[in-house]
Amino acid sequence: MSDIRPVNQDCPYCGGPMAVTRMTCDHCEISVDATFPMSRLGSLPVEHQKFIEMFVLAGGNLKELAEQVGVSYPTLRSRLDKVIEALRGEIAKTRRVQGTVLDAVDPGKSNAETAAKLIKQIQ
């Protein structure tokens, strides 16, 4: 069985974005090569992922988690705020363009092809 580690999207060499391109079944050894999308939670730094795991296992109770790990409630609250901020940043990266059809077809600003792309993105 392979060594399973949390996925981080940053290249350890240059810091650039990395992509998951291969998945393999440990049981039958079949592999699938493709570009797999990362989840928003999977895009967070590993330390944020671990915090979320501990927080969920503590039933979302920061006081209980503070007792379990031996740190103060304000320290954990600050950490949770940082995780929330990071997750909001990941959500903002994938949020679709919002607007109206009229915004997309402004005659002075876009051609038909650009307008069609913008219309497809409107929620």
3-state SS, 8-61, equals CCECCCCCCECCEEEEECCCCCCEEEEEECCCCCCCCCHHHHHHHHHHHHCCCC
CATH topology of domain 40-94: Arc Repressor Mutant, subunit A (1.10.10)
For 64-120, how does the pLDDT look when each residue is reduced to its tens digit (9 = 90+)? Answer: 999 999 999 999 999 999 999 999 988 887 766 555 555 555 666 667 777 677 667
d(C-alpha 42, C-alpha 10), whole Å? 11
Map out the domains of the chain as residue ranges: 40-94
What are the CA-CA distances from residue 10 to residues 13, 80, 91, 115 (Å)? Answer: 9, 22, 17, 34
Distance from C-alpha of 117 to C-alpha of 115, rounded to nearest angstrom: 5
Q: Which residues contact residue 65 at a Cβ distance below 8 angstroms, ignoring those fewer than 6 apart?
A: 54, 55, 58, 76
pTM of the entire predicted model: 0.57
Give pLDDT, residue 2: 45
Tell me the average pLDDT of the chain: 81
